[in-house]
């Protein structure tokens, strides 16, 4: 058995194309095509089949993708020389995927902590636009924060960072900034719904429905910052996670919702292949401690 085939298989399954796999392994497309043909003979499965102008993985390929990726990662770890983590000499870029609000609230402290302990480390923050786990699974993202949901891959590791609750937000001087806020007053206003999937209802609508009320949604946006920008310059009402958007809400009027709504848990997520990586363990500790000190 030629175990080099595992590396080839991992590249094919990760990239989903012969050209992409060839580029990743620094091979010519023709050499990659021959390697794929050999894989198909050995495994008795086409692995990638044509669909229109592209290629799609077979059910067998989808079944094996995560297992093969973990095997290759473990093999590389075995062959990598063991050495103690020297933060002063560590040079590495970590990619963190977060909703808007994380960088504003925790980014400065995290960057300062990392710079103090490991000046050669760089943090790359990218926006979290969905709940898919593909980027973590493929290694394009090192850490992610958010709510563990049904769409989160079950193989991911997760650790709770903090509990959060929803709060109402309006501009200074808004009618809701004066007097007692009842469920009826809250429902009577015009609202902004934050939904990355463009849903037309949310948890607030469920809570209102439970007390026999309904609200008018005037706008649907995909981010907290967009919701706050609209609320800041209009009479629209935004409903957002309280701790996660603390700095984003600066200069606005926030109020406790007159509704019974469940709290959410913001968690830190990563792929199990990075469990034992010393540098990754250090970064996870930095994030946990920085967030704990801020909330």
Return the H-helix or E-strand segment holding 14.
helix 4-15
Q: Which residue has the tokens 């925790």?
A: 106
The residues of the chain scoring below 70 in pLDDT are 80-83, 295
pLDDT recorded at residue 170: 98
Rounded CA separation 222/31 (Å): 44
Tokens of 131: 């709940």
What does the alpha-carbon distance between residue 116 and residue 289 come to, in Å, rounded to a whole number?
A: 14
Q: What is the pLDDT of residue 13?
A: 87
Q: Domains in the chain, start-ordered, CATH in brackets?
A: 4-79 (1.10.10.10), 92-164+265-294 (3.40.190.10), 166-262 (3.40.190.10)
Structure tokens at 32: 């990659």
Q: What percentage of the chain exceeds 90 in pLDDT? A: 58
* Residue 81 confidence (pLDDT): 62
In whole angstroms, give the CA distance from residue 152 to residue 287. 20
Give the C-alpha distances (Å, rounded to integers) separating 274 from 65, 101, 131, 277, 289.
17, 25, 20, 5, 19
pLDDT of 131 reads: 79
């Amino acid at each position: 058995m030629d175990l080099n085939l595992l590396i080839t298989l991992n590249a094919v399954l990760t990239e989903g194309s012969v050209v992409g796999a060839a580029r990743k392994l620094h091979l010519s497309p023709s050499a990659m095509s021959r390697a794929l043909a050999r894989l198909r003979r050995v495994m008795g499965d086409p692995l990638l089949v044509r669909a229109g102008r592209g290629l799609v993985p077979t059910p067998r390929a989808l079944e094996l993708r995560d297992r093969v990726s973990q095997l290759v990662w473990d093999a590389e770890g075995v062959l990598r020389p063991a050495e103690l983590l020297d933060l002063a000499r560590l040079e590495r870029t970590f990619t963190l995927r977060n909703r808007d609000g994380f960088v504003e609230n925790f980014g400065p402290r995290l960057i300062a902590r990392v710079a103090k302990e490991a000046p050669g480390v760089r943090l790359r923050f990218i926006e979290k636009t969905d709940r898919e786990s593909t980027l973590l699974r493929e290694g394009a993202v090192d850490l992610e924060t958010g709510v563990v949901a049904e769409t989160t891959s079950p193989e991911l590791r997760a650790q709770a960072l903090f509990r959060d609750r929803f709060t109402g937000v309006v501009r200074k001087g808004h009618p809701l900034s004066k007097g007692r806020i009842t469920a009826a007053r809250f429902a009577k206003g015009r609202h902004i719904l934050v939904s990355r999937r463009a849903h037309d209802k949310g948890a607030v609508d469920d809570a209102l429905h439970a007390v026999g009320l309904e609200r008018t949604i005037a706008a649907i946006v995909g981010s907290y910052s967009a919701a706050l920008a609209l609320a800041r310059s209009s009479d629209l009402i935004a409903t957002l996670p309280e701790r996660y958007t603390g700095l984003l809400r600066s200069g606005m009027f926030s109020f406790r919702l007159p509704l019974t709504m469940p709290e959410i848990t913001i968690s830190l997520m990563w792929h199990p292949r990075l469990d034992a990586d010393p540098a990754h363990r250090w970064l996870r500790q930095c994030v946990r401690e920085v967030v704990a000190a801020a909330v």
